[in-house]
Structure 1
Amino acid sequence: MERTPLDKHNSFRQNDQTSTSSSANDGHSRHCSDHETNDSSGRFQIAHEVDQFLDVLSAIEDKSSGLAEVPDIVPAFAKIIESEIVMYNSGEANRKFGKVAEEDSFFMESVRRISKLTNALSEFSSNTNVSLLNHTSAALQRAMAFLEDEFRVLLDGNDHCDGEVSSQNLKKFLSFNSKHDQPDRCAVQRDSDSGDSDEYPPYPADAVATMHEIARTMILAGYETECYQVYFFSRRNAVRNKMIKMEFDVILNMDEVVKMSWEQLEIEISRWINVVKTCTEIIFPGEKRLAESVFAESPPTRNNLLSNIVRIVVIQLLDFAEATAMAKRSAEKLFKYLDMYEALQNLIPAIDGESCPADVMSEVAAAVDRIGESVVSIFCDLENSIKSDSARTPVPGGAVHPLTRYVMNYLKYACEYKDTLEKVFGRQTALAKKYIPPVSSRLSAQDLEKESESPHNFETVVSNTPFSIQVVTVMDLLDVNLDKKSKLYKDPSLRCLFLMNNGRYILQKAKGSPEIRQVMGDTWCRRRSTVVRLYHKNYQRETWNRVLHCLSHDGLLTSGKVNKPLLKERFKIFNTTFDEIHRTQSTWVVSDEQLQSELRISISAVVIPAYRAFVGRFRQYLDPGKQVDKYVKYQPEDIEGLIEGLFEGNTSSMSRRKT
């Protein structure tokens, strides 16, 4: 009669080291209960025989007839696994799971064998195998329950809290808890120094390797759901705790955000940006690395876990972003909104991939667009605020207008976000079409001199990108507004000084900001300098030409003789005119020191030589004594000193007057 695979297996066992096998067979029960026997080579021999038995079972094609006989190694092997679990749970520090690599390796391999054995036996339909199958199934369930607990302990960062902690582990324990503020947890570090608590997640390499083995074993045994749940809840709670530490544990609803003052909302936005940055740079990459290590052989499980963890965090972040986008918009919010936009943009590559659901990516993209719309709206509000600024009170002394300071500082900070704003405005194609500038050639210096005093922003700007067009539009609006405000000054000289002050401020801000200069270009800067010089010339013409007219020689000589009454009148008019100019323009303001110096030098260069020549030539025609003191009120040096006191915004007396 032909021998079956099971007969061959039994024959093999009878002929293979009979004495050793007999003693092993006679004492299988003692194997399972006696730990010293488990540590002997007998258990490895049984494991080897289980492998051979599995080969026999797989070779049987007809599984409907059941098994006539099952070797004793099957229940013995099940009891070995149960005894291993008892050993791990004994409470002895050196018997705990994860302490002895050889023991752990044998146990994990044994669990995988009992899983295969249980599956193989379940394929036979004979009722005679039910008791045996129940035995292996029970051992497998206990092993799975044990591994599930160990998996949870490793993930939660706990070690067995039995009070027997080595000084090295105690040091690691205290260090970990001090850094991570987890006083209720046990030591996460094992004896291996491969872990680094500064990393996220703070698991040592040996702990991650053990998690991988447990996950692999549970999934192979058909306990994927239990493995999934333990991992998911543990990592979800870990991420939640991380966010709580960053004070982002309270979810603000739409109404709360909308009702917040800007000061409160600004704090919340800063906190939100910090959380998004941490998620982008630390949490999501860390979770991905951990999942890839633990579930290396199970990509679907890994991706599903990461997907759900990412979804929970991202949805909470997007809820706040959506609420913020709906809040009342104002100019001061622009830069925080830009920070939010950049944070979301940086988040996309951190979550993009197989592990991120398409709907989550879609929600992130939508949130980016909504924040972008808020940015565009706020920036356009800047245009509206310039157009609507129709204040009728001129700035005292022709100083730089607050609107000019506000707009230029606003543009300076906005241009620091140039790349981001180019992306934002790039999506606004309608806006770009609306402001297409006219085509014009480069203007030469001579051409610029001939042009009017308009800066011609669109003609001189270096590029026509969506954001640069927006900046130039703001510049044009500001120029128009300043021109209107200059007409509030009745004095033409002060009008010129006001335009000169503001034009110089705009130019210096642009030159001092590489970002603005990059947008506007060198040609624009040269044109703006030309315009400021034109204001300077106009001021000098409106103010000091009157003084020079007083020093004219015309009409003073008649038939070779000096017309003394007219000479005296000229001196009197000069003194009155100069006194008036000094008294008035000492209260005018030029805050730019370089411009102030340029003005004083140019005035002195025109007035002092003319006055010195006039006094030098005609003083001799005045009677010595009181008449000279009466009409020659100032010496040239006095005039020079008084000019040095102009544009300081004060009303100091002419203390430097000399007789």
Structure 2
Amino acid sequence: MPRKGMRTVFFNSPSPTRMTPPASPLPHTFSESLMEENIEVAEFVITKWDSLLESNSSHCNIGSLFSDDNREEAKLYLTSVKGLQKAMQYLASHQASSEKLVRAQTLMQTAMKRLEREFYQILKSNRDYLDPESVSTHSSARPSTARSSFSDFENESENERDDNESIPEVERVSLAAMTDLKAIADAMISSGYTRECLKIYKIIRKSIVDEALYHLGVESLTSLQIQKMDWEVLELKIKNWLNAVKMAVKTLFYGERILCDHVFSVSDKIRESCFSEISKEGALALLGFPENVAKCKKTPEKMFRILDLYEAVSDLWPEIESIFSFELTSTVRSTAVNSLIRLGEAVRTMLTDFEMAIQKDSSKSTLPGGGIHPLTRYVMNYIIFLSDYSGSLSDIVADWPLTIPSPLPESYFGSPDNEESISSPISVRLAWLILVMLCKLDGKAAMYKDVALSYLFLANNLQYIVRKVRQSNLKFLLGDDWVTRHELKVKQYAANYERVGWSKVVASLPENPTAEIPVDQVMDHFRKFNSAFEETYTKQTSWVIPDPKLRDDIKISLARRIVPIYKEFFETYGGMQLRKKMWVESLVRYTPDDLGNYWSDLFFESGSSGSVSSSSSRGGRSR
């Protein structure tokens, strides 16, 4: 059969799926015939749905091409658009002025309007299913379930449909919507309708991001507005920000980035531009807040909120760097970095101010009873809170050398071999603050007129410091050696207190309590002991030792130092064998057991204020 006849049979046979088009000049090439076929198929499919659109224009959900009931129609529509695109490309190259090209362009415009409407409708009707939390959860959990392009949409297999049916309803709808959006975006972008597609996407998704940030309490505040706020108001805003930032970064922006990357995966440039316009404004408002707070007036009391802000940004930095990795969102990364820098500078300033406040403490009054000084409590509680931020503080002080008049004493940290403790910048910094406080306490101890009370004051305060270190993160920062050495220092202060405070009582007893001595010397020892014990006891009834262990240790130590000697002396010269003598009855006021009972009342904050007299002797005292 002649070639011409073959073309006539092949191309002019009646089609069961469409009406036979009007007669037209026979195509001259095989490619031309295929392109005309594409145009005819596209015209049939596109005009069909265009007429449905017109007839149902008042009902947005009626006639949706991408509904579950029309999956096959949607695939056919996208296939026809793809074929029409190929035909236009061919005609533009070979028949640029032909009526066929004009006809194809008109069809494409109609198709794009339809896809534009579908794109908008999917974004709006699936708003709840395309929230960032759902997108981030589903996409990370099942990345393979979403098709990668609209060509994949055409070739959906039975296995993929079965997989989708096994997914929970919410996740299935979310994945289906993401797939449909991507298929439409691919079709519109490849057909030259990128701007129309992006305009719809940006408007809808930016409104979702902005609304989510609003509900999280994120405000766009200027530096001047923040600086004018009372601290109580600003602290509330900081708390709100701390509650919002993790959700905003890890869920909102992360989910939005995943959705944008998926829908516009066909072009890196497009997805970069799209994500930037949607998220940049909100992200800058969110991550610029800490930097503005850092510019406010700095006082030590604000330290921990500043550290909270620093820690939050620092912890989220890997996510921030990954989510806003595009060049167009580099200002978001820069804002986060600047916030960290400014917050770090604020912390350094406040640490310096805190140290100066300790050094400048000028209170001259002594604490009654030698108890825990308010400065000790305040500074230690402050430093303990600082130790809870050791990770962030380590970053902040890493390149900030400690400037002190002279090196820290080796004995302060421990042996020179303990390099781990010495080399930690945050350990050195916190140890230095404690040392500054200890120096101030030495000065306050000197204000006591009674030397014994000075030593008791130092023992009490250092014991408090050591106990606080043991019970907090400071133990790990300062090390066991630091704790051990300062515990020894507490024992030295306690021993000095016992030596000075009870020296008269010890001196009143004979060196050898069982040696035979004249009666007048026996009487003199008893008189001196009574006088010394009563004077010392009466004076120290108002002294306190808040720590139970230290209190018991000192009482036990005093008992071991005095009671054995007194007991031997008492049994030798104050026992029943001498009771018949009147001077024994009048001078021996205390039994060895009495001493323990008297000590049991000492050093409590509500200690006895009564006097010691013979009226309470012999029978002992009840606790």
> What's the TM-score once normalised by structure 2's chain length?
0.81
The reply to whether residue 266 of structure 1 matches residue 227 of structure 2 is no
The reply to whether residue 593 of structure 1 matches residue 548 of structure 2 is yes
Q: Is contact 2:355-2:433 (8 Å) kept?
A: yes
For 1:398 and 1:237, the matched residues in 2 are separated by 65
Q: Is contact 1:284-1:350 (8 Å) kept?
A: no
- Residue 523 of structure 1, CA deviation: 2.0
Gaps of 5+ in 1: 29-51, 60-66, 160-190, 444-454
In structure 2, the partner of 1:452 is: none
In structure 1, the partner of 2:496 is: 538
Q: Is contact 1:556-1:567 (8 Å) kept?
A: no
- Deviation string, structure 1 residues 120-163 (Cα, Å, up to 9, x no partner): 5455343645762563244234324323432432563499xxxx
Further displaced range: 647-656 or 326-335: 647-656
- Residue 534 of structure 1, CA deviation: 0.8
- Residue 270 of structure 1, CA deviation: 1.6
In structure 2, the partner of 1:231 is: 201
In structure 1, the partner of 2:275 is: 306
In structure 2, the partner of 1:142 is: 113
Letter in 1 for 2:316: L
Letter in 2 for 1:605: R
- Residue 651 of structure 1, CA deviation: 4.6
In structure 1, the partner of 2:483 is: 525
1:555-566 equivalences in 2 (<5 Å): 562-564=518-520, 566=521
Letter in 2 for 1:113: G
Letter in 1 for 2:74: D
Letter in 1 for 2:595: I
Q: Determine helix, strand or coil for the equivalent of 2:14.
A: helix
1:442-453 equivalences in 2 (<5 Å): none
- Residue 424 of structure 1, CA deviation: 0.6
- Deviation string, structure 1 residues 152-182 (Cα, Å, up to 9, x no partner): 32563499xxxxxxxxxxxxxxxxxxxxxxx
The reply to whether residue 481 of structure 1 matches residue 481 of structure 2 is no
For 1:73 and 1:196, the matched residues in 2 are separated by 35
In structure 2, the partner of 1:253 is: 222
Letter in 1 for 2:8: Q
- Residue 393 of structure 1, CA deviation: 0.8
Q: Determine helix, strand or coil for the equivalent of 1:463.
A: helix
- Deviation string, structure 1 residues 487-537 (Cα, Å, up to 9, x no partner): 011111110001001111111122222x31222222222211221111111
In structure 2, the partner of 1:613 is: 568
In structure 1, the partner of 2:535 is: 580
Further displaced range: 13-22 or 237-246: 13-22
For 1:309 and 1:380, the matched residues in 2 are separated by 42
Letter in 2 for 1:56: E
In structure 2, the partner of 1:414 is: 386
Distance 1:70 1:313, change over 3 A: closer
In structure 2, the partner of 1:179 is: none
For 1:154 and 1:193, the matched residues in 2 are separated by 23
In structure 2, the partner of 1:362 is: 334
- Residue 593 of structure 1, CA deviation: 0.8
Letter in 2 for 1:635: T
The reply to whether residue 80 of structure 1 matches residue 78 of structure 2 is no
Letter in 2 for 1:14: T
For 2:39 and 2:395, the matched residues in 1 are separated by 73
For 2:18 and 2:166, the matched residues in 1 are separated by 41
In structure 1, the partner of 2:359 is: 387
Letter in 2 for 1:152: L
Q: Is contact 1:13-1:21 (8 Å) kept?
A: no
Q: Is contact 1:496-1:538 (8 Å) kept?
A: yes
1:124-523 equivalences in 2 (<5 Å): 124-126=95-97, 128-129=99-100, 132-133=103-104, 135-154=106-125, 156-157=127-128, 194=167, 204-248=174-218, 250-353=219-322, 354-355=325-326, 357-428=329-400, 431-432=401-402, 437=407, 455=412, 462-513=421-472, 515-523=473-481
Q: Determine helix, strand or coil for the equivalent of 1:640.
A: helix
In structure 2, the partner of 1:37 is: none
Distance 1:303 1:331, change over 3 A: same
In structure 1, the partner of 2:141 is: none
For 2:541 and 2:30, the matched residues in 1 are separated by 106
For 1:234 and 1:225, the matched residues in 2 are separated by 14
- Residue 85 of structure 1, CA deviation: 4.0
Q: Is contact 1:54-1:117 (8 Å) kept?
A: no
How many residues get paired?
568
- Residue 363 of structure 1, CA deviation: 2.5
Q: Is contact 1:303-1:355 (8 Å) kept?
A: yes
In structure 2, the partner of 1:99 is: 68
For 1:472 and 1:384, the matched residues in 2 are separated by 15
Q: Is contact 2:42-2:83 (8 Å) kept?
A: no
Letter in 1 for 2:503: N
In structure 1, the partner of 2:156 is: none
Q: Is contact 2:413-2:478 (8 Å) kept?
A: no
Gaps of 5+ in 2: 23-27, 131-163
Letter in 1 for 2:561: V
In structure 1, the partner of 2:10 is: 16
In structure 1, the partner of 2:154 is: none
For 2:13 and 2:560, the matched residues in 1 are separated by 124
- Residue 480 of structure 1, CA deviation: 0.7
Q: Is contact 1:122-1:133 (8 Å) kept?
A: no
In structure 2, the partner of 1:183 is: none
In structure 2, the partner of 1:547 is: 505
Distance 1:226 1:612, change over 3 A: same
For 2:109 and 2:127, the matched residues in 1 are separated by 27
Aligned-residue identity in percent? 26
For 2:236 and 2:88, the matched residues in 1 are separated by 59
Q: Determine helix, strand or coil for the equivalent of 2:188.
A: helix
Letter in 1 for 2:508: C
Q: Is contact 2:129-2:174 (8 Å) kept?
A: no
Q: Is contact 2:81-2:108 (8 Å) kept?
A: no
Q: Determine helix, strand or coil for the equivalent of 1:204.
A: helix
For 1:381 and 1:12, the matched residues in 2 are separated by 96
Letter in 1 for 2:385: Y
Match of 1:647 among 603, 615, 619: 603
- Residue 327 of structure 1, CA deviation: 1.2
Q: Determine helix, strand or coil for the equivalent of 2:562.
A: helix
Letter in 2 for 1:339: D
Distance 1:218 1:135, change over 3 A: closer
- Residue 245 of structure 1, CA deviation: 2.1
- Residue 118 of structure 1, CA deviation: 4.5
Distance 1:55 1:414, change over 3 A: farther
Q: Is contact 1:121-1:133 (8 Å) kept?
A: no
Q: Is contact 1:458-1:472 (8 Å) kept?
A: no
For 1:147 and 1:522, the matched residues in 2 are separated by 69
Q: Determine helix, strand or coil for the equivalent of 1:588.
A: coil
RMSD of equivalent CA atoms: 3.7
- Deviation string, structure 1 residues 40-70 (Cα, Å, up to 9, x no partner): xxxxxxxxxxxx99942899xxxxxxx9x99
> What's the TM-score once normalised by structure 1's chain length?
0.77
For 1:72 and 1:215, the matched residues in 2 are separated by 24
Match of 2:586 among 630, 638, 647: 630
Q: Is contact 1:257-1:265 (8 Å) kept?
A: yes
In structure 1, the partner of 2:150 is: none
